[in-house]
A and B are shown apart, each in its own frame.
Chain A
Amino acid sequence: MSPTNDLARRQAADWFARLLAADASERDRDAFERWCAESEANADAYAAIAADHDFARRLADDPMIVAATQKARIAYAGHGRGGRWIGLAAAALVVVAIGAGAWRMVRDAGSTETFATAVGEQRNVVLADGTQLVLDTGTHLDARIARGARELVLREGRIDIDVARDPRPFSVVSGRGVVRDVGTRFEVERHGEDVRVTLLSGAVNVSLGDGEATLAPGQQARFGAAGGIVVAEAEAIDDASAWTKGTLVFKQRRLGDLIAEANRYSTVQIRLADTSLADLRVSGVFRVGDQASLLEALRAGWSLSTTQTSEHEIELSRK
């Protein structure tokens, strides 16, 4: 960005903030108008800043923004009222399903709903078209069922999707990729930019800007921030979707993977004292979110010992 534009932007933001004040004076307005008339760049910078502010209004019902606003309200309750924030844990605490409120402007294009689950929470959702979703722990999802299309945007977490029969195309946007479906059940999991798509039945097409893959049942596609799509056979399908019934099924899998998976459901994190432990092979069926039983099983079955090292951490080590 050129220094001129940067300056115009800074001044535009200052002007917009000034004009939003109830006490903006006639002199302020006069000075602003002169600045605006000075160059097209100034006027455009102002219009862009104002447009962004307008755009941000659509976030008013966004769960993360609602949570941050509540936090701010508590933290800054006013002078002398002792309004110190005492630990609303995380934004993830707030679980909200919003209606069309934030999307008045695009009502005709279908309403968008946002769904989020807290750490350790799972939730069933039925969309307007009858599609059934299971949201796993720490998931954040936008869903739009419009006249001509059905679309989900997975921002984080994992969803199991049972697509309702409907002539409208169904797609899931996640990271760099788009998954298009033709009447099936599949799962999409996203952590940061890493995305995994597992097909349980039917057929789906996964596409990135520069490549695509069609999955057969039992196959899994992976892609990240860079590179192409890697397709592999998924673990036994029943196991892959076991989490939707509240269980984690592990057959001769790495302990490191199991712990990573279990940690997603809890604010108390399990840490391996010794990195060599990560490669230990474990099998078993564990209840999602039942950390105590998991630790009990590891102590009894794999001769490991556990130490609570802090409020939010448990260390796992060899006996």
Chain B
Amino acid sequence: MPRLLTGREDNAERFERFVRESAPRLARFLGRLRVREDDIDDVAQESFARLLRYRDQEPPDAWTALLYRIAINVVRDRARRDRNAPVADVSGAEPEAVSAEASPEQHASDLEALAHAREAILALPARCRAVYLMHRVEGLSYPEIARRCGISTKAVEKHMSHALRALRDARERPGAHAR
């Protein structure tokens, strides 16, 4: 499925600009999460490094939302490391990359999770499903989706929120959408 992205060069430039412009905001956010002053630069750098992996996979509009998630994960990872405690699962949060050494069991559970996500999406009301798929699969912006569906961009946002919640429910309570 082709995704509507600008060219690679453009995207690299755009990403650099995004990093420059987002850095102060990210620092403020990390402060609010009570990251120590001395650590903020490190955490920010690690967050941007992780975000880079998504540069060509996610449209630039999604980078801000993604950066917040990554920053939260980096903060959590560091807190765990500092406590030197065994890694606990943060409410089912996904690691940002799947280990290449995933066991067949892990992989099978991954496939099951994908099946649950698929079922959750297919079980959404028609318009909500259409909105989510246009965004997730086709990479369309809210205004474009709004135009196609003949609804407001605010309604698009509501449908997105509903779909996201359904995905979370499916992840936590698999079978809720199973036939």
Q: Would you give the 0/1 interface string for B88-101, flagging 1 where the beta carbon is closer than 8 Å to chain A? A: 00111110111111
A14 to B136, CA, bound (A): 16
- Cβ–Cβ contact B94 & A55, under 8 A: yes
CA distance A52 to B96 in the complex (A): 11
- Cβ of B55 within 8 Å of any chain A Cβ, yes or no, is no
**Contact mask B140-179 → A, CB, 8 Å, 1/0?**
0111000111100100011011101101100110000001
The binding surface of chain B is classed by DSSP as helix
From B58, B72, B114, contact of A44 by CB (8 A): B72
Q: Given A21-B157, A76-B149, do A48 and B93 touch, yes or no (CB 8 Å)? A: yes
The proximity string for A residues 204-243 relative to B, scoring 1 for CB distances below 8 Å and 0 otherwise, is 0000000000000000000000000000000000000000
Question: Max chain B CB contacts within 10 Å: which of A21, A61, A73, A149?
Answer: A21
Chain B residues with CB below 8 A from A32, complex form: 68
Are A48 and B115 also in contact (CB < 8 A) when A72-B130, A72-B133, A171-B104 are? no
The answer to whether residues A50 and B66 also contact, given A13-B168, A16-B164, A33-B29 and a CB cut-off of 8 A, is yes
Q: Are A57 and B136 in contact (CB under 8 A)?
A: yes
Interface assignment of B8: CB less than 8 Å from any CB of chain A: no
Q: Among A104-112, A120-128, A251-259, A309-317, which stretch is in contact with chain B? A: A104-112
Tell me how far the C-beta of B160 lies from the nearest C-beta in chain A, rounded to whole angstroms.
4
How near does chain B come to A94, taking the closest CB pair, in angstroms? 12
Which residue of chain B has its CB nearest to the CB of A77?
Answer: B148
How far is it, in angstroms, between the C-alpha of A42 and the C-alpha of B148 when the chains are bound?
33
On whether the beta carbons of B135 and A68 are closer than 8 Å, the reply is no
**Which chain A positions have C-beta within 8 A of B168?**
9, 13, 48-49, 52
Which of B33, B107, B141, B150 has the largest number of chain A CB atoms within 10 A?
A: B107
The yes or no answer to B126 lying at the interface (CB within 8 A) is yes
Chain A hits for B33, CB < 8 A: 36-37, 43
A24, A37, A72, A109: the one within 8 Å of B102 (CB)? A109
Please report the C-alpha to C-alpha distance between residue A1 and residue B76 in the assembled complex, in whole angstroms: 22
Question: How far is the CB of A199 from the nearest CB of chain B, in Å?
Answer: 21
Known contacts A13-B164, A106-B100; decide if A36 and B1 are in contact (CB<8 Å): no
- Chain A: minimal CB distance from B144 (Å): 9
Per a CB cutoff under 8 Å, which of A36, A55, A72 touches B129? Answer: A72
Given contacts A52-B94, A78-B148, A105-B98, contact A72 B134 (CB under 8 A): yes
Chain B 112-138 near chain A by CB (<8 Å), digits 1 or 0: 111101100110001101100111111
Question: Which residues from 1 to 27 on chain A have a C-beta closer than 8 Å to any C-beta of chain B?
Answer: 1, 9-10, 13-14, 16-24
Cβ distance B20 to chain A, nearest Cβ, rounded Å: 16
Q: A69 and B66: CB pair below 8 A?
A: no
Given contacts A60-B136, A155-B115, 6 further A-B contacts (CB under 8 A): A17-B164, A43-B72, A49-B168, A52-B167, A64-B118, A109-B101
Enumerate chain A interface residues (CB-CB to B < 8 A).
Answer: 1, 9-10, 13-14, 16-24, 29, 32-34, 36-37, 43-62, 64-66, 68-69, 72-73, 75-79, 91, 104-109, 112, 142, 144, 146, 148-149, 151, 153, 155, 171, 173, 178, 192
Give me the interface of B with A, judged by CB distance under 8 Å.
Answer: 1, 25, 28-29, 32-34, 57-58, 61-62, 64-66, 68-69, 72-73, 76, 90-94, 96-102, 104, 107-108, 110-115, 117-118, 121-122, 126-127, 129-130, 133-138, 141-143, 147-150, 153, 157-158, 160-162, 164-165, 167-168, 171-172, 179
Name the 6 nearest CB pairs between A and B, nearest first: A51-B94, A108-B100, A72-B130, A50-B69, A19-B65, A17-B160
